[in-house]
Structure 1
Amino acid sequence: MKKFIKLTFISMLAVIILAACGGKDDTKTGDAGKKETKDVLAQIKERDKIVFGVKHDTRLFGLKNPSTGDVEGFDIDIAKSLAKEILGDENKVEFKEVTSKTRIPLLNNGDIDAIVATMTISEERKKEVDFTDVYFEAGQSLLVKKGSKIKGLEDLKKGTKVLAVKGSTSAVNIREKAPDTQVLEYENYAEAFTALKSGKGDALTTDDSILYGMADEDPSFELTGGTFTDEPYGIAVKKGNTDLVDELNKALNALKDSGKYDEIKDKWIKQQ
């Protein structure tokens, strides 16, 4: 009986030890895997290419040229210059289309390494992503047909319709600042501007930098009422990638110090 009890005890102890060892190994594997997926900068340098999420519908910042198929704009040139600073060649870059609604999910899924897409830094977004330093200062405004009675926020009353883009801070801001107006949201800026031109709304709201592009495309529209928010743009990366944030900030500072940043800005944002 004593021998049986002793053997049973040894067997139970062995099971416990093996289970504990297995648990430790799984934890290490899990931690290692988690760390590997988080270290986006290492992946970028290993593949020798950086993948940026950019807009395809935002004139002056990120707009697909139908004749060439290339995406062009301020954000695009900034992204290329960042790739040159980090990897030594502006061609070591890949662009994937994002919208205000899809950019964070695509980033968190690992489809893109960073977002350069007129993305405003906000406290709410900081809970989901990490941002670099500000790379462009913008402010929310209104775009209207020339001759419109809407001259500012005070004219957005009951019965007026304002167009905005889904997933943008602009939609949130306009509801707060003009609670009586009706806000209609569209998938992207191209759809929203088309809706404004077809008379489905009285005004379109987003950052002034984007609205300048629309007015440049169709001079029968104009900005009105000045800016009523501060919209600092930042480059977004997946949460926890501090090394990548530091590398991008270092590259941004280099562009500003060399004068390359001002060169790109003057090329695209002539109205600013």
Structure 2
Amino acid sequence: MAARTTRRTPAAKSRLVAVGAIAVAATLLVTGCGDQTKDSGDTGSTSAAPLADKLPQSIRDKGVVKVGSDIAYAPVEFKDDSGKVVGIDPDLAAAMGKQLGVTFEFENGTFDTLITGLRSKRYDVAMSAMTDTKDRQEGIDAETGKKVGEGVDFVDYFTAGVSIYTKKGDDQGIKTWADLCGKKVVLQRGTVSEDLAKAENEKCPAGKKIAIEAFDNDQQAQTRLRAGGANAGSSDFPVAAYAVKTSGGGKDFELVGEQVEAAPYGIAVAKSNTELRDALKAALDALIENGEYQKIMDKWGVAEGSIDKATINGGK
């Protein structure tokens, strides 16, 4: 499930918000075991879609792209009050589905298992505010430096950095990561936020280390901070900004300091699936050109993270 140095680790997320109209042809439903969330709308036949011929034949035959996602990361992907899956990623996926003539089916999973699910072919892609990093591209565990898989390719579609937030009116002088020394921070496990906290901890003086409490998802971290169980929280900028805007009607949290280490979010695809990777890039470029991409960014208030061209493996 972290402005999501900004980025999530290979086995994790590095997980960055005005309303524009966008025609989303499908309704996302949670169905079946594994909390699968399917876009059940009619995207049209593949033969009628402008970019259908770019897809692998196996996916054209199925008419479905299976998406692994940690659906608890508002506003990137989350469930609204009715249980419908909404957010930046589902909107982009629905729009890409129109270009490619297929349905994108979202299946919920914890962030740090998404690349494993991609490797086992449970998913065709992982789309979950995942930061594109060289480590992930090469299958390197960022914490140990060891090779853990063949890596993945990314189709980059957004830029975000990591932010810190505190309870509103109680920033405790926290403005930078160094200010967290001697304090407790809550965050999502496997994210770039966790990487940054661990890196900063090595710089803290003895007796003033950062107490890091990591959760399965960002909402749990927010709940902990809201209850007074920590001094600060950290996540990707769009997620932190959305929490500040919406939690408690905007009365629970405030952003502190500046977002750091902006980096691209990417759709992860298996190294062997270059045809699907290139089809996704073509679909994103078409959305950028026809204006649908910017409508989605404006709708969710994340225009500052917009890109002007889809890129493959642009992460550093």
Does the alignment reach a TM-score above 0.5?
Answer: yes
Amino acid at match of 2:215: Y
User: How far did 1:178 drift?
Assistant: 4.2
For 2:57 and 2:110, how far apart are their aligned partners in 1?
26
Question: Counterpart of 2:19?
Answer: none
**Which of residues 65, 90, 93 is equivalent to 1:79?**
93
Matched, 1:168 2:179: no
Residues 127-136 or 75-84, more deviating: 127-136
Alignment partner, residue 194 of structure 1 = 223
Check conservation: 1:161, 1:201, Cα contact below 8 A.
yes
Kept after mapping to 2: 8 A contact 1:132/1:248 = no
The answer on whether the counterparts of 1:54 and 1:95 sit within 8 Å (CA) in structure 2 is: yes
> Of the candidates 242, 254, 260, which is equivalent to residue 286 of structure 2?
254
1:164-243 matched pairs, under 5 angstroms:
164-179=187-202, 180-218=209-247, 219=250, 220-243=252-275
Q: Which amino acid aligns with 1:134?
A: D
Q: Deviations over 1:94-136 (max 9, x none)?
A: 1101232121122112121111110001111112343334211
Bigger fraction of residues in helix: 1
Structure 2: state its 5+ residue gaps: 1-54, 140-150, 203-208, 305-316
Corresponding residue number in structure 1 for 2:115: 104
Cα shift readout 1:68-101 (whole Å, capped 9, x = no counterpart): x2100011101111121112x5xx2211012321
For the pair 1:142 / 2:164, whether they are aligned, the reply is yes
1:78–1:55 distance in 2 versus 1, CA, 3 Å: same
Higher Cα radius of gyration = 1
Name which of structure 1's ranges 171-180 and 103-112 shifts more when overlaid on structure 2. Answer: 171-180
Cα deviation digits, residues 127-149 of structure 1 (max 9, x gap)? 23433342111001101112211
Name the aligned partner's letter for residue 153 of structure 2: F
State the Cα deviation string for residues 198-220 of structure 1 (Å, max 9, x = none): 12211111210111121122212
- Residue 152 (1) aligns with residue 172 (2): no
Identity %: 31
Q: Tell me, what secondary structure is at the counterpart of 1:194?
A: helix
Cα distance in 1, alignment partners of residues 161 and 302 from structure 2: 16
- What letter corresponds to residue 235 of structure 1 in structure 2? I
When structure 1 is superposed on structure 2, of 175-184 and 43-52 the one drifting more is: 175-184
Give the structure-1-normalised TM-score: 0.79
> In 1, distance between residues paired with 2:136 and 2:275?
19
Q: Pick the aligned partner of 1:59 from 60, 63, 74.
A: 74
Give CA deviations for 1:43-63 in whole Å, capped at 9, x if unaligned. 211211111122321111111
Moved over 4 A (4+): none
C-alpha distance in 1 between matches for 2:242 and 2:153? 25
Rounded to whole Å, the distance in 2 between the matches of 1:162 and 1:186 is 11
Contiguous gaps of at least 5 residues in structure 1 = 1-39
CA distance in 2, matches of 1:93, 1:112: 11
Change (3 A) 1:270 1:127: closer
- Aligned residue for 1:228, secondary structure, equals strand
- Cα offsets for 1:154-181 (capped at 9, x unmatched): 31112x0111211212211221134331
**Separation in 1, partners of 2:303, 2:245:** 9
- Residue of structure 1 equivalent to 2:31: none
Residue aligning to 2:50: none
Deviation at residue 239 of structure 1 after TM alignment: 2.5
Tell me the equivalent position of 2:35.
none
Aligned residues: 228
The verdict on how the C-alpha distance between 1:163 and 1:41 changes in structure 2, with shifts beyond 3 A counting, is farther
C-alpha distance in structure 2 between counterparts of 1:270 and 1:207, whole Å: 12
Distance of 2:88 and 2:175 partners within structure 1: 29
Q: Which has the higher contact order (CA 8 A, sep 6+)?
A: 2
Q: CA RMSD in A?
A: 1.7
TM-score by length of 2: 0.68
Secondary structure at the counterpart of residue 223 of structure 2? helix
Query: Residues 200 and 271 (structure 1 numbering): CA distance in 2 closer, same or farther, change over 3 Å?
Result: farther
CA distance in 1, matches of 2:263, 2:235: 10
